[in-house]
Chains A and B, each alone.
Chain A
Amino acid sequence: MARTFRGGFHPEERKHLTEHKEIAVLPVPSVLTIPMAQHIGAPCTPLVKVGDEVKIGQKIGEPNGFMSVPVHSSVSGKVIAVEPRPHTGLGTVLSVVIENDFLDAVSDTVQPKNIDSLSQKELIDAVKEAGIVGMGGATFPTFIKLSPPEGKKADAVILNGAECEPFLTADHRVMLEHPDDVIDGLKIMMKILSVDRGYIAIEDNKKDAYALLKEKCKGEAQIQVVLVKTKYPQGSEKQLIDSVLRREVKSGQLPIDAGVVVQNVASAAEISTALRTGMPLVKRVVTVSGSGVENPGNFLVRIGTPLSFLAEHVGIKDGIRKVLAGGPMMGAAQYTMDAPVIKGTSGLLLFTEKEYKHYEPSDCLRCGRCVKHCPMRLMPFMIMQQAELNNLDGAVKYGLKDCMECGTCSYICPSRRRLVQTFKIAKASLPKK
């Protein structure tokens, strides 16, 4: 029996469009735009200026502050601009624009590490220097998860292979095509954290990946491959911890407070690649799908490739209404295709009328569907009622602060009410701590 949490729902997956398509290497465009902000936390400071020559893997952005990781060039060529450019999630962001010389020269700094001889501290630094972040979309710097604060200790690492967003199959393909990297990345993280319990959690709509990883982990006493129920938001950290370990992360705390580190499977594979080959995070697998795409598929894309280049490669149909970076439940709608693929871009979805439908909201029926399905077990319709009355205390009482904005309530609401959308606004008007 697949393990699961309470609440959530099963949306129409539409993963069949791409789940059997092997990862194809996308050609590299002639100009790439690499934003200095590809992680939550302060943007990097550019290390290059217009006219500089750069090589693949060369550090071009120096991190600022604790939550920041470096940014590297994904191509060799010449810097032609350092200026604000469109970004998939942050409006416009200072970016380094590089003209590709098509030589694919690799920087000297790309050197394999000898994992066995490195200390835990050195391994953490190597993960940080490789610019690795949560590649499921949250872009939380991975090294922070690997360095628990004083007095806190992890006893389990969970690799998140749930990929619960409809349409997306990038993680699925990474697990199928690079299982050894995924497992190696998990082992490295377990070593860094001195943890002897590793889990790889996979939704039961990806039985092939489950079977493959289970086979590969046969001799690994410390690693358990776990089947979790196909249900949104199974890939949310807190819900996955509940499903796999039957533990809850207390309100306002982080998974590490419950002794768990959760990491995306693609990030794990990237940790392995970065340490074994020295190549930092400069490319990722992106699912390109939706009814507006001629040839949907999974592509290995250099970070900085414009969405328009990716879209042209797969062929765009007429009547595109919405362009999304990420999945349909939590991804960001784009106003331009000029923004580039960044470390957290798990998908590029082009929606026509087929997926995008506009409904007018009507009054709340009090049907209780939002209550039944809320994975945080809140009362969304009550939060909404209080928020609309501008009573923030009341909204907090029914769970405003615990809302993780997964969108389940808005998806499920038969009255088409903009629940999570309202909560985002209400949260923004909460007094800062």
Chain B
Amino acid sequence: MNEKLIVSTSPHIQTSYGTSKLMGNVLIALIPAVAAATWIFGIRALILILVSACSAMLFEHLWCMLLKKPTTIFDLSAAITGVLLALTLPVGVPLYVPIVGTFFAIIVAKCLFGGLGNNFINPALAGRAFLLASYSLPMTTWVKPFYYKVDAVTTATPLKILKAGGALDVGYWDLFLGNIGGSMGEVCALALIIGFLYLWARKIIQPHITISYVATVALLGWFFGYNGIMTGDALTSILTGGVLLGGIFMLTDYTTSPTTRLGNVIAGILAGCLTIFIRVKGGYPEGVCYSILLVNILAPQIDKLVVPRKYGA
């Protein structure tokens, strides 16, 4: 034995689950949603998602080059941001929209604050919020599902119809499977739930924040209906808009959510309250994006307030 021995303090073994493996699992969990988006809105959806993912990784790589640091794109977090941002867009947006969006998400919301782990808001949602403010018309022009086979026909999202005081002409099954207008990734609840169960089963995420958020939206959605107290519908509340996409893939973002179980439950409830408040009283028909961004900002404060009881305390 001639080699020098390595001496370090314990522990001497580490999990194989590094950052890139965790993020890779999130990408796997997004496959059903991407597939559903492609099926419902056509190949254009897939192109937008790929453009978004690639531009996100490119921007992060260029940033690392600019700072003369080793590239961080292989942790795959930029790819997730790209895919998630694309999933929040309508299928009809021009191709440059996701590119502008990922620039804001990656460079402004993430890299300028120090990169992965140091961003204070979810980059994908920050990008979406930026796009909504910058390109409000294409960002709110929705096409009917499956119309790519003929000609794109614009439609309204269920939330917009409800907010205007109208009645939905679709059933729960349509809402569940995604046969409605909306963002590419938000309409198919089934695909999102499959992704959620995968992440939960693989212990990539803890389910607390998602469950408390969705439950709060369901409860308050039923209680604060559009036509007065207790006129709402719990299932419609959670199956429309971005509740599941946001609750499963955005709120669970490691960096911008609290770290304790109780902290996550609290954050989920807060986000749920804000979502319904914006939906019912706000200017927009949907409040998922802004509610999550607001709760992101609170996450470090929640961690300071909710300290678990130590063993033996």
Residues from chain B with a CB closer than 8 A to the CB of A337 are 1
Contact at B11–A251, with CB atoms within 8 Å?
Answer: no
Given contacts A378-B310, A402-B311, contact A371 B259 (CB under 8 A): yes
Say which size band chain B's interface belongs to: 35 or more
Q: Bound complex: CA of A354 vs CA of B115, how far in Å?
A: 31
Contact at B9–A421, with CB atoms within 8 Å?
Answer: yes
Using a CB-CB cutoff of 8 Å, which residues 244-280 of chain A contact chain B? 248-253
Q: Is A415 an interface residue (CB 8 A)?
A: yes
Contact at B13–A166, with CB atoms within 8 Å?
Answer: yes
Contact at B15–A411, with CB atoms within 8 Å?
Answer: yes
Q: Is B96 an interface residue (CB 8 A)?
A: no
Contact count A vs B, C-beta below 8 Å: 157
The digit string for A352-380, where 1 denotes a CB below 8 A from any CB of B, is: 00011101001111111001100111110
Q: Is B73 an interface residue (CB 8 A)?
A: no
Q: Bound complex: CA of A366 vs CA of B13, how far in Å?
A: 21
Indicate which residue in B11, B13, B19, B260 contacts A371 across the interface (CB closer than 8 Å): B260
Indicate which residue in B5, B18, B255, B258 contacts A321 across the interface (CB closer than 8 Å): B5
Q: Bound complex: CA of A377 vs CA of B8, how far in Å?
A: 26
Q: Is A81 an interface residue (CB 8 A)?
A: no
Given contacts A333-B5, A368-B254, A379-B308, contact A363 B11 (CB under 8 A): no
Q: Which of B13, B21, B206, B254 has the largest number of chain A CB atoms within 10 A?
A: B13
Contact at B312–A253, with CB atoms within 8 Å?
Answer: yes
Given contacts A238-B312, A321-B3, contact A330 B10 (CB under 8 A): yes
The digit string for B64-87, where 1 denotes a CB below 8 A from any CB of A, is: 000000000001000000000000
Residues from chain A with a CB closer than 8 A to the CB of B3 are 319-321
Using a CB-CB cutoff of 8 Å, which residues 328-366 of chain A contact chain B? 328-337, 351, 355-357, 359, 362-366
Q: Bound complex: CA of A12 vs CA of B15, how far in Å?
A: 9
Contact at B11–A323, with CB atoms within 8 Å?
Answer: no
Contact at A399–B206, with CB atoms within 8 Å?
Answer: no
Indicate which residue in B7, B114, B117, B303 contacts A415 across the interface (CB closer than 8 Å): B117
Contact at B18–A414, with CB atoms within 8 Å?
Answer: yes
Chain B residue nearest in CB terms to A401:
B310
Residues from chain B with a CB closer than 8 A to the CB of A319 are 3
Q: How far is the CB of A426 from chain B (nearest CB, A)?
A: 13
Q: Is B6 an interface residue (CB 8 A)?
A: yes
Contact at A379–B307, with CB atoms within 8 Å?
Answer: yes
Using a CB-CB cutoff of 8 Å, which residues 383-433 of chain A contact chain B? 397-399, 402, 405, 407, 410-416, 420-421, 424
The digit string for B249-266, where 1 denotes a CB below 8 A from any CB of A, is: 000001111111100000
Contact at B22–A322, with CB atoms within 8 Å?
Answer: no
Using a CB-CB cutoff of 8 Å, which residues 3-60 of chain B contact chain A? 3, 5-15, 17-19, 21-22
Given contacts A322-B5, A359-B14, A416-B14, contact A368 B22 (CB under 8 A): no
Given contacts A320-B1, A363-B116, contact A379 B259 (CB under 8 A): yes
| Chief secondary structure at chain A's binding surface | loop
Residues from chain A with a CB closer than 8 A to the CB of B256 are 366
Q: Is B154 an interface residue (CB 8 A)?
A: no
Contact at B13–A11, with CB atoms within 8 Å?
Answer: yes
Q: Is A242 an interface residue (CB 8 A)?
A: yes
Q: Is B231 an interface residue (CB 8 A)?
A: no
Q: Is A75 an interface residue (CB 8 A)?
A: no
Indicate which residue in A249, A379, A416 contacts B18 across the interface (CB closer than 8 Å): A416
Indicate which residue in A333, A351, A366 contacts B117 across the interface (CB closer than 8 Å): A366
Q: Is B149 an interface residue (CB 8 A)?
A: no
Q: Is A210 an interface residue (CB 8 A)?
A: no
Residues from chain A with a CB closer than 8 A to the CB of B307 are 379, 397-398
Indicate which residue in B10, B11, B15, B261 contacts A414 across the interface (CB closer than 8 Å): B15
Contact at B7–A335, with CB atoms within 8 Å?
Answer: yes
Contact at B14–A334, with CB atoms within 8 Å?
Answer: no
Contact at A368–B260, with CB atoms within 8 Å?
Answer: yes
Residues from chain A with a CB closer than 8 A to the CB of B75 are 362
Q: Is B118 an interface residue (CB 8 A)?
A: yes
Q: Bound complex: CA of A378 vs CA of B310, how far in Å?
A: 6
Q: Bound complex: CA of A337 vs CA of B7, how far in Å?
A: 12
Contact at A333–B9, with CB atoms within 8 Å?
Answer: yes
Q: Is A324 an interface residue (CB 8 A)?
A: yes
Q: Is A309 an interface residue (CB 8 A)?
A: no
Residues from chain B with a CB closer than 8 A to the CB of A143 are none
Q: How far is the CB of A414 from chain B (nearest CB, A)?
A: 5
Indicate which residue in A316, A371, A416 contacts B308 across the interface (CB closer than 8 Å): A371
Chain B residue nearest in CB terms to A14:
B13
Q: Is B313 an interface residue (CB 8 A)?
A: yes
Contact at B311–A242, with CB atoms within 8 Å?
Answer: yes
Q: Bound complex: CA of A187 vs CA of B179, how far in Å?
A: 71
Chain A residue nearest in CB terms to B256:
A366
Given contacts A242-B311, A248-B311, contact A410 B11 (CB under 8 A): yes
Contact at A411–B8, with CB atoms within 8 Å?
Answer: no
Contact at B1–A316, with CB atoms within 8 Å?
Answer: yes
Q: Is A299 an interface residue (CB 8 A)?
A: no
Chain B residue nearest in CB terms to A363:
B117
Q: Is A382 an interface residue (CB 8 A)?
A: yes
Given contacts A368-B260, A377-B310, contact A323 B117 (CB under 8 A): no
Contact at A402–B115, with CB atoms within 8 Å?
Answer: no
Residues of A within 8 A of B (CB): 11-12, 166, 238, 242, 248-253, 316, 319-324, 328-337, 351, 355-357, 359, 362-368, 371-372, 375-379, 381-382, 397-399, 402, 405, 407, 410-416, 420-421, 424
Q: A402-B312, A407-B10, A410-B11 are in contact. List 7 more A-B contacts (CB 8 A).
A: A11-B15, A238-B312, A250-B313, A355-B12, A363-B117, A399-B310, A414-B17
Q: What are the nearest 10 A-B pairs in CB distance?
A: A368-B259, A407-B11, A367-B254, A363-B117, A251-B312, A328-B13, A365-B254, A333-B7, A328-B12, A376-B311
- 18 pairs from A and B in contact (CB 8 Å cutoff): A12-B13, A251-B310, A321-B6, A328-B13, A329-B12, A333-B7, A333-B10, A333-B12, A362-B116, A364-B117, A366-B299, A368-B260, A375-B311, A376-B310, A398-B307, A412-B17, A414-B21, A420-B11
